[in-house]
Each structure stands twice: as structure tokens, then as C-alpha cells.
Structure 1
Amino acid sequence: MGNHNVNTTLQGALILSVAAFVAKLLSAVYRVPFQNMVGNTGFYVYQQVYPLYGIGMTFALSGLPVFISKLIAEAPDLATQQTVARQVYRWTGGLAVVIFGGLMVGAPWLARGMGDHQLTPLIQMVAWMFLFMPALSVGRGYHQGRFNMLPTARSQVVEQLVRVIVILAAAGWATHHGWSVYRMGTWALSGGTIAAVAALLTLPRWRTAQSSAGRRLPHLGRRLLIEGGTLCLLTAMMVLLQLVDSFTVKNGLVAGGMSDLAAKSLKGVYDRAQPLVQLGLVVAVAFATSLLPALTEAQRQRHPQAFKRLTTTMMRIALVIAAAATAGLISLMPWIDRLLFGNTQGVGMLDIYMLSIILATLIQTYNSVLQSQDTYRLTVVALMTGFIVKCLFNRWSVIHFGGVGASWLTVMSLGVTFAIIWYGSARDLRIGIWQRSFIRKLLGCTILMVAGVQLTGDLLEHWWPALATGRLAAGGALLITIPVGVIIFFSLALSWQLLTVREWLAIPHARTLLKLWQKLRHFGGK
């Protein structure tokens, strides 16, 4: 690969990273005004069915396009690239029709499995989106494989923007006209199909009028199942765990003695964790995977030392940011809950759920490293084992411990997944990252940050009693305590040399932070 292609690849990776960040940010943020408009029960209705849409979205947004782009990039000429794209389109088209038919016919059964037969039309509405999955996946993957990232980036942002607009418009209209929460949910979920059509309109055509005569790709079905399936499983990891919750949390609460209406409301409160976890994951993974193109290039060029150094850097950055985000969210959760949702319901189970940010970040980052080495089996085994743990024990845990039990099972499932990946990885991936001095420093920075935030919060509540009840007051408190936490954490991290200078410089815009720190140290030394 020449320098021009390398630069093109790096620029394309940056474009896709920015687009993915914007798309995921939109996907996380809209849930807050949506929940405020429709309430806990309305949020429950939407979130019960959302995982089915989320699985399809991850297939079409990131999972399959990445795999397809790899197939296209491997093809030697344009004719073969179009032949490969056609073959993949036929495979994914068949899969989409099967999923569509299964959801349409099986919707009543799935709704009963979720403990609420009124969810049937919502599930059937989601089914329509899958019919557009093949065209979106192949279109995005084809252009990515030809190093043209703009069509994919544009379609990702358009898709999420249109979907968010439809969802919030449906919620606003339903609230104003007194619709039932189920009718509202059906129209809100129609946003997935409408958004898919809008995204498809932004993608340039990839098929020619004439039949391509390129070389057919052997074993495509097997590669689609193993490599493409692994990528889809990973990107849908959190959504799959949410799908288990859809079938077990509300049913488990009712089996534990709660009324049907109260169980729906509490499930809506439990689902508040989703946008918060997603925001934490977006930030941590975005910073860490900014090094992924360089990591892949080091592997391709067979530079083991550079690969090891970049791997260690990526993992440490991911762990530092995820730990800071998790600790910050947990320590500030009462005020975050009050500001975003108007009360402090479910703070305990939300706190526990936030621990999944660290584990999910590490799993995704480790998997990025394994993918650069074309290693897939370990990730599949780990993900499926964690998923099975969640399936087997989630209902029992909810019956005995309520929503807190479901939060713990999510954390445990991710813990099992990470443990399998960690123990199955090469020794360099374990020893180089998990040095005792690094872990001690990270724990020290995190604990002192939490202590500083808690002390600041206690002082504010002493001087400002309205913090205990006021929504705007909670927002004001966060404007003070968040900067305090950030300053404490990064001051300690820089003072204790938590990361090396090279590792700091790998973080986007960290050079400015280091220059400011040097000025402050110089000023303090005078």
C-alpha cells in the first residue's frame, strides 16, 4: 500500500469515526427528552421493542458494512468488486426476508414472551426496517471498500437525524392528542424505516446496468457467517443484553410480586441507564479506537514492537477514560437523574449498571486488537458465553433482587465475556497493560476524584438546600462538580504520570492539555 492509499485510509477512518460519534451521540441523547415527554410507562413500551430495531441497526450501520468493505478491498478489480457486492446482497437479502417474515408472523408470540400482548404492532413495525438492511449494508460497505467514506458517513448521520426527528415528533404529537403509549410507540418505531429510506437515498448507486463478469468469491456464506457475524455480535453486544431484559425484567418483577403497571413503570426507570451507558461508551471507545488504523498498519507491515506499543496505548487510554466516566457518573447520579428525568428513582440500579461502561469499553477495545490480527473465534465464544449467563440467570435475579438484580447480571455477563477474552488473548495483551503501578495510580486518581466530587457536593447541599429537590438546581450543581472532578482526575493523572507522554499525545487534542499543565507547573514553581 503506497503512502497515498495509507493517507486516504487514515483520512477515511477519521471521517467514519466522526460520523459514527455523531450518530451514536444522537442515538443516546434523544432518549432524555423522549422519556420526559412520554413518562416511565411510555419509555418502557418503546424500550421493550427497541432492542429488535437496535440489532438491525447495528447490522446495517457498522457490523456488516465493515465486513463487506473488507471483501471489496480484497477484490482485484472493479468487475470483481461488483460481483462480490451482488453475492453479498443476495445473501443478506435472503436473511432480511427471513427476519421480516419471522417478526411479522412471530410478533404475537414475542409480545407474549415480553409479558405484554399490546406490543405486537410495535414489533411488526420494526420488521419493515429489516427489508432495507441489505441495500444499506452493501451500499455502505461497497463505498468503504473503495476508500470512499463520505457516502457512508453521510448516510449514518442522516439516518440517525431523521429517526430522532420522527421519534420526538411522534412523542410530542401523542402527548398533545392523548394517544395511548402503545400507539405512540408504534409511530415512534416507524422512524427506523423512514430513516432507512432517507439514508438509502443519500447513497450513490454501486450497481451497473451490465452484468459484471468478475471472479466469484468462494466460501462467501461461511465468511459472512463467521467474520461478519462476529462483527455484528460485537456491535450489538449491549443491545443483545437489553433484549434479554425485554423478556425477563418486567416478567420477573411481576413474578416477584409487583403489579403489572408498577412493573412497567420500574422497567422504564431501569431503561434510563441506556443513554448514560451509551454516552460513556461513545467517548471512551472513540478516543481509544482513533489509534486503530495505525494498529492495523503496524500489523500489516509486520512491526511487532510498534503493534505492541500501540496496543498498550489504546488499551490504557480506553481504561483511563472509561474508569473516569464510570466513577463520575456514579458519584453524580442523583443529580444527573434529577436533571434529566425529574426525580431520583432507581439511582441504586443505575449506579450498578454504570459499571458496564468499563467492561464494555475493554471488550470492544480488545476485540479491535483481535480483529486487526484476523482473530474471531475467541470473541464469538466470549460473547455467546456472556449472553448465555444473562439468559440463564436474569429472571431469577430480578425475582429475588428487583431491578438491581438485572443491573448486576448485565455487569456479570460482561465480566464473563471480558474474562474469557483476557485469558484467551496473547500474553503481551495481558502483561503489558495490567501493570500494578498503572492500576494503583488509576485507582488512586479515581478514588480521590470521587472523594473531591462528593465533598464539593456536600458543601453545595449545605449552602444550597434546593439541590435536594430542584431540577434546575441539580443542573447548576453539575456545572460546578463536573469541572471539579475533571480537574482533580487529570491533575493527579499528570502529576503521577499515569500515562507516558507518548500515550497522552495519542489522545486527540491532548497536546493542548499538556502545554497548559506545563505552564501551570512552571507558574506554581515560581
Structure 2
Amino acid sequence: MATKKMSKVMRGAWILSLGGLVAKILSAVYRVPFQNMVGDTGFYAYQQIYPLYGIGMTFALSGFPVYVSKQVAQARDPLAQTEVAHRALVLMTWIGLGMFAVLELGADLIARAMADAGLAPIIRSVGLMFLTMPVLSTARGYFQGTFDMSKTAISQVVEQLIRVGVILLAAWYAVQQAWGPYKMATWAMTGAFFGGVGATLIVLPAYLKATAGRRAKPTPWREYGHLLDRFVKEGGSIALFSALLILLQLVDSFTVTRGLIAQGMVPEAARALKGVYDRGQPLVQLGLVVATSLSTTLLPSLSRSVARGHWAAFKQTARQLIRFNFGLSLAAAAGLIALMPNVNRLLFGDTVLTGTLRVYTLCIVLVALINAFNAVLQSLNRFRYTSYGLVAGLVVKVLANPFLTVRYGAFGAAVATVLSLAVITVLLYIQLPHSLQGVDPRWFNLRLMLVVGPMSEAVHLVAVHMQPQNRVETLWVFIVAVPLGVVLFVILGAIFHLYTVREVLAIPYGRKFMKWWQHRFGKDTHAIR
């Protein structure tokens, strides 16, 4: 029976991870055609307000559902599970209405704080999304708590498909009708609301059916205060780390345009340049999808090892998680940096702010490490220390951004982001168990440099040799350089024994690669130990 339940949990974790991965890819990819249609100023108008949507969606997708699922899973019987969900729904309704009211009534104030009064209608548009958050987050949390992950995963994908469809349709129609950037962004942001409605139509009927016939007992008001306190401490920590990059982008929304204007730029030019700076966000998102998609398969193993007291297995899995995240993120970042002028030209049509985007790309490595360290610490229930690290990094960003932006423009803002993430990375590393700190006996970092260095240099030389002059020629650079980089990473990784046999077997298609390598280079597996 226990084996069957564990199998269900693992299958559910896979389904949820896959749904989240598809949603992340959709969320990152649509920005490229969107920017191409609406230009830098239109992209700026949308991206300025995107962090407000992103924070709310993070709470609806990961923060509150994770906390609700934990409470539901611990409930003693189906009626108790329904009561937990009911209390969560009441609390989330008040939170959702409160956020809606803040954005609707405070839109003008927030827009002026962002140095652009024209953003107010877009802020009101994104506020509609919070009306769908209570039912959506509660139902998702209930199903995750009963180990039915499919409904959450399907609702995530449906939500993103509808949202992206509305955004691209609004951009296309705005071009046809010659709308201004603010009107376009206002309609594009309604995609969050319509996506939320679509996802609600997936989970609400199933939730009503699952809880039919169970009448929850009235809950005293003081119980909601206790529930809110626990949510902030437990669910809030999970949500804030999920929204880490979005929080840093929110600081940029309030400071970069204002700093560029203070530097002497006219407002219109400052807004367009902020739109160029925002190109770094989808690049980092795509890099993180590549870097962290494999590591999500290891997360359930961490919690299971802690629960069973298998500390040797915990240490081994934690090291695998950190190595996968660091190795793949460094490879992704190095490849993007080597190809950056061509990435900029192919995706966005020019090479403006290439140096700034190269610096911003370093976020891929730091966020991947932060995610790995945070997963290890949270599996040990060290929520407080991870929150302290996050707050410290945000303080660094808030303090450094205005100064560096006024002094160095968008490049300074990128440096401030990297600096703040570096602070969080160091503070979380210090909190790791001592067995995961210090010198790695396998010298993994040195091996990684021997792999990534030649790989990125080869990719860079290909791009320089081909010297593309337009988008079509640039596409051929990618057709040649990207497969070359992947092949070199795999072959050099095998030659320099980057990952152990056990680690190779842990990744998808790892066993097939092992068989191919043994067939090609001999029966022993020394080359990849």
C-alpha cells in the first residue's frame, strides 16, 4: 500500500513538473514575437506592469496552493480536507479582493511612482486577474493535497495558452489599428484575467464534484488570523523564492526609467531603452528552463530522504541537484554570452545593449544555484534563513539600482541585479549543511571549467567566422553553433568525467547514452565516472 501511494506521489510530481515546464516555456517564448510586433516602447509598457501580474500569479501557482496542499494532506479525513479548503477559499477571497482594490484605486499613484502616468490603465487591467485567484489557488491546493496533480497541470497549461493567445492577438490587432503602446498593453494584460477564467473552468467543476455533500463547519474569525500568519511564514517563503526574478524586475520598474531620465535622457527615449533592457528577462527565463528542468526530478527525493532519516542519500541527492543546476546553467549562460550579438539580432532585430544583456545573462547561473540551495534548505525546514537571504538581496537591489542606473544607465541596473543575486547565493550557501560546503573531492568546478570554456570558445569562433549581417544569416549561425555546443558539452563532459555514472543514469536518456558510450569506446564506464 505504501509503495502504491509513493508511486502515485512520484507520478503526480512528474505530471506537475511537466505542466509547470510547459507553462514556463510558453511564458518565455511569447515575448519574442510580441516584442517584434509592438517594438521597444510597446514592450516597455507591457513589461513595466508585468511584475505585478507575475507576483500575483506566483502566489496563485506556487505559494498558496503549496501551503493549502500541505494542510489538506495532513487532514485526518475527507471532511477535514474540505474544511481546510473552505477556510483557504475565504481567506484568499479577502486577499484577492484586497489586491484588486489596491490596484484599481491606487493605479494612478503606482503609475506616477514608475515615472509614467500613462501606465495607470494597464495597472487596472492586471488587477482583474486577482478576482480569479481565490478559487484557482484553493482548488489547485486541494487537488495537490489529495495527490491529484493532473488538474493543476492541465489548468496551468490552459491558463498560459489563453493568456499568450490574448496577448499576441491584442498585439496583432494593435498593429492593424495603429493603437498606441499603452492601449495595446492594457488589452494584452487582460490575457491574465481570461487565462485565469479558463483555468478556473477546468478546476472548479472538479473541485465542486470532489467536495459535494461535505458541509464545512463555521470557522471563528480568529482562526483566519492564525491561518494568515502560517501562510505568510510557510507559503510566503516558497512564493517569494519562486518570484525572485519578478521582485527584482519590480524594483527595475520603479527605478530604471526614472534613473535614465535623471541621467539626462528624454522620457520617450528612456522608455524605449527600458524596453530594450527588458529583453534580458525572456532570455534568462529560457536559460533557466534548460538549466533546471532536469533537477526538478530530484526534489521529491530530497524530502523523502529527510523524512526517512537517510542522510547519506540526502547528501548524495543534494550534491546531484547542485551539480546539475550549476553545470547546465553555466553552459546555458556561457552559450548565450558567446552568441549574444546574434541572439539579440535574431530575436529582436538589432544588437542594442548587447553588453548589458551579456551581464544580465549571468542571472541564469545565480538563480539556478539559488533554486538548488533553497530546495536543500527548505527540505530541512530552514524557511527563516532562506527568507533572510532573500530580503538581504532585495535590499541590495533597492539601494544599488538608483545609484548605478543614474551613473551607468541600463548596464548599471543589470550589474545591480547580478550583485543582489550574488548576495543571496552566498548567504544561502553559508546556511547549507557543512557536508555540502568546502572543497568537492571530485573537483567538479574545475572539471566544469574544462568543459564549458572550450565549448563556449568554439561556439564564439563559429559565430565570428560566419559574420552574419541579417536575420536569415544569423539563423544559420544558430543552426550550426547550438548543436555544436551541445555535442561538445556532452563529449567533453564524458572525457573529463564531469558527472558520475549514477548522476548520468539519473537524467532522461542517461542510460541510453551510457550504452552508446560503452559500445563506442569500450565496455568499461571509466570515462564518465
Structure 1, residues 174-224: CA drift from partner, whole Å, max 9, x if none? 001101110000000000001100000000124435522499989422211
Tell me if structure 2 keeps the 8 A contact 1:308–1:428: yes
- What does 1:155-304 correspond to in 2, within 5 Å? 155-203=155-203, 204-206=206-208, 207-208=211-212, 210-213=214-217, 219-304=226-311
Aligned to 1:464: none
Query: What secondary structure does 2:293 align onto?
Result: helix
Asked if structure 1 preserves the Cα contact closer than 8 Å seen for 2:450 and 2:496, the reply is: no
Query: Is residue 338 of structure 2 the alignment partner of residue 331 of structure 1?
Result: yes
Compute the TM-score of the two structures, normalised by the length of structure 1.
Answer: 0.95
Instruction: After superposing the two structures, state which structure 1 stretch, 156-165 or 100-109, moved more.
Output: 100-109
- Matching residue of 2:392: 385
Structure 1 position 456 matched with structure 2 position 458 = no
Q: Which residue pairs with 2:365 in the alignment?
A: 358
- 2:216 aligned partner, one-letter code: S
**1: CA distance, partners of 2:47 / 2:514:** 42
Pair 1:136 & 2:143 matched: no
**Distance of 2:120 and 2:442 partners within structure 1:** 52
Is contact 1:289–1:365 with CA below 8 Å preserved after alignment? Answer: no
Query: How far apart, CA to CA, are the structure 1 residues paired with 2:287 and 2:380?
Result: 27
1:62 aligns with 2:68: no
Whole-Å separation in 1 of the counterparts to 2:478 and 2:365: 22
**Count of residues in correspondence between the two structures:** 516
Q: Return 5+ residue gaps in structure 2 as ranges.
A: 524-529
Determine the C-alpha separation between the residues in 2 that align with 1:38 and 1:250. Answer: 19
Q: One-letter code of the match for 2:501? A: V
Q: CA deviation at 1:60?
A: 0.8
1-structure distance, mates of 2:218, 2:515: 54
TM-score, length-normalised on structure 2? Answer: 0.95
Contact 1:34 1:171 in 2 (8 A): yes
**Corresponding residue for residue 440 of structure 1:** 446
Q: Distance in 1 between matches of 2:313 and 2:217?
A: 41
In 2, Cα distance between equivalents of 1:209 and 1:95: 27
RMSD over aligned Cα atoms = 1.7
Q: Which moved further from structure 2: 163-172 or 451-460? A: 451-460
What corresponds to 2:526 in structure 1?
none
Q: Does the CA contact (< 8 Å) of 2:462 and 2:477 recur in 1?
A: no
Separation (CA, whole Å) in 2 of partners of 1:126 and 1:296? 36
List runs of 5+ in structure 1 lacking aligned partners. Answer: 462-466
Q: Is the 8 A contact 1:81 1:214 kept in 2?
A: no
Contact 1:252 1:395 in 2 (8 A): yes
CA contact (8 A) 1:457 1:477 kept: yes
Q: Which residue of 2 aligns with 1:406?
A: 413
Contact 1:80–1:215 (CA under 8 A) maintained in structure 2: no
- Structure 2: distance between partners of 1:179 and 1:159: 26
SS of the residue aligned with 1:258?
A: coil
Q: Structure 1 stretches (4+) deviating beyond 4 angstroms?
A: 213-218
Give CA deviations for 1:121-171 in whole Å, capped at 9, x if unaligned: 000111111121111111001001001111101100000000000000000
User: CA contact under 8 A between 1:248 and 1:395: conserved in structure 2?
Assistant: yes
Q: 1:118-157 to 2 correspondence within 5 Å?
A: 118-157=118-157
How big is each residue's C-alpha offset from its partner over 1:75-94, in whole Å with a ceiling of 9 and x where there is no partner? Answer: 11111111111111222221
Instruction: Tell me the distance in 1 between the aligned counterparts of 2:331 and 2:278.
Output: 22
**For the Cα contact (< 8 Å) 1:80–1:213, is it kept in 2?**
no
1:428 to 435, 439, 442: 435
2:79–2:214 CA contact under 8 A, matched in 1: no
Residues 309 and 482 (structure 1 numbering): CA distance in 2 closer, same or farther, change over 3 Å? Answer: same
Deviation at 1:511, TM superposition (A): 2.0
C-alpha distance in 1 between matches for 2:219 and 2:275 = 52
